Amino acid sequence: MKTLVLKVNPKKPELEKIRIAAELLRKGKLVAFPTETVYGLGANAFDEQAVKKIFKAKGRPLDNPIIVHIYSLKQLYEIASKIPEEALLLAKRFWPGPLTIILPKKKSIPDVVTANLKTVAVRMPKHAVARALCKQAALPIAAPSANISGKPSPTSAKHVKEDFYGKIACIIDAGRTNIGLESTVVDLSSKRPVLLRPGGVTAEQLKKILTELEVHAVAKAEKSVSIAKSPGTKYRHYAPEAKLILVEGKKEKALAKAVELAEQHAISGLRTALLLIDVKKDMALENVVVKRFSTKLSAARHLFSALRELDEQGIEIIVVNGIDERGLGLAIMNRLRRACSERIRV
C-alpha cells in the first residue's frame, strides 16, 4: 500500500493537508497522527470495518479496547450513555489534554472498539494537529498508540514509519510529541472512580477533584494483575528488543546497584546501556552507553525514543534505576515495570 506522508506544522497545521487526512478517515482508511502524548493510529470510531484494520495492522489482541478521541463535548454525548458530574468536572479541568475517561457507552460505538465492554474510553486531545483532524473529520476517532503491539509507543513520525510505512493510508508528521507517555486513564463507570493507567495527568492532580480516587494495582503495575475491566493492562508492553533490567529501591541504593550491574554486564562482553532516570549528576562508565534524564519530565518525554534508539544501536542489556512514584513518577514506573524483563529490589 502507498502511504501518504503529510508533513505539517505542529502548531498551525495546514488546513488543506488536514482535510486530505480527514477525508481518508471518512473513507474508512487508517491515519496515524500526533497527539500531545504519543502518535495515534486512527480510524472512524463509528466504522466497525475501519476499526478492525487497526487491530490487524498493530497485531493488537481483540480483547484490548481502544480509546476514542473527540473534539467537542457535544461528541461526548453521542458516544457515552451516562455522564456523571465528576466527568464534567474532569473535562473542564483537563480537556483538552492527556486524560482518558471511561464511561458507559452508547450503541453508536461498535463493540469492536470497546472489546465488547459496556464502557467506552474517551479523550479530548490538546495537540493542534489532533484537534484539527478530529474537527475536519467531524467524527470521533478511535486511536491506540501507533506502534506494533508490545513495542515502545511512538513519539515521532519516524517511529510510526518504522512500524507502518506501506501498511496504512497516511501518516501525519508533525515532529516529536510533547508528553511522551500515554494518557492517564480513569474509570468513572462504576460507583467509585478508579485510576487504571497513570499518564500525563498525575494522581495528585486527579485527587484534587476526585477525592475518593482509588489507585488500582494495575496502575502501579506492581503485580501482574489483570482485570476484566481494562484488559490492555495484562499484556507486556513498551518492550525494547534488549533485555531491560529495572532496579527498584531507595534512590541512592537503586542507583548504585544499577551502575554495578551495568558494569558487570559490560565486563562480561554484552553491549550494555545504563538508563538514568531523574539523576542530576553526569556519569561516564567504561564500555557502557549512558543515557541520563535529569528530571521526571524529560524522562517521560524521551523514555520510549531512548528505548528505540538503544535497540537501533544493537544494545543487548539495558539497566535502569527505579524512582519514587510521586507526580509523573507513577506513570514512568508503570511503563518501566511493564517493559522490563527482570525486576530487582535492593
Q: Do residues 258 and 320 lie in contact, with contact meaning Cβ atoms separated by under 8 Å?
A: yes
Min dist CB 127 to ligand AMP, Å, is 15
Min dist CB 20 to ligand AMP, Å, is 25
Which of 75, 114, 156, 177 is the binder for ligand AMP (CB under 6 A)? 114
Contacts to ligand AMP from residues 182-201, by CB under 6 A? 182, 185, 196-197
Instruction: Identify the CA nearest to 36 among candidates 95, 80, 101, 86.
Output: 95
- Name 90's Cβ contacts closer than 8 Å, sequence gap at least 6: 99, 101, 186, 188, 206, 209, 210
Min dist CB 331 to ligand AMP, Å, is 12
With CB cut-offs between 5 and 8 Å by kind, which of ligand AMP, Mg ion, none does residue 233 bind?
ligand AMP
Per-residue burial over 305-342, b = 16 or more CB atoms within 10 Å of its CB, e = otherwise? bbbbbbbeeebebbbbbbbebebbbbbbbbbbbbbbee
What is the greatest pairwise CA distance in the chain?
60
Min dist CB 19 to Mg ion, Å, is 27
Which of 120, 133, 258, 318 is the binder for ligand AMP (CB under 6 A)? 120
Min dist CB 149 to Mg ion, Å, is 7
64 binds ligand AMP (CB under 6 A): yes
Min dist CB 68 to ligand AMP, Å, is 8
Which of 178, 230, 305, 334 is the binder for ligand AMP (CB under 6 A)? 230
Which of 117, 170, 239, 319 is the binder for ligand AMP (CB under 6 A)? 117
Cβ of 72: how many Cβ atoms within 10 Å? 15
Burial class, 344, CB count within 10 angstroms (exposed 0-12 / middle 13-18 / buried 19+): middle
145 binds Mg ion (CB under 5 A): yes
**Cα distance between residue 159 and residue 144, in whole Å:** 14
With CB cut-offs between 5 and 8 Å by kind, which of ligand AMP, Mg ion, none does residue 305 bind?
none
* Strand partners of residue 40: 33, 145
E strands present in 105-154: 119-123, 141-142
37 binds Mg ion (CB under 5 A): no
Residue 145 or 177 having the CB closest to Mg ion: 145
Instruction: Cite the DSSP H helix spans in 168-281.
Output: 203-207, 217-220, 251-267
Which of 6, 51, 80, 121 is the binder for ligand AMP (CB under 6 A)? 121
E strands present in 8-107: 31-34, 39-44, 68-69, 99-104
Q: Which residues bind Mg ion (CB under 5 A)?
A: 145
Q: Which residues bind ligand AMP (CB under 6 A)?
A: 64-67, 102, 114, 117, 119-121, 144-145, 182, 185, 196-197, 229-233
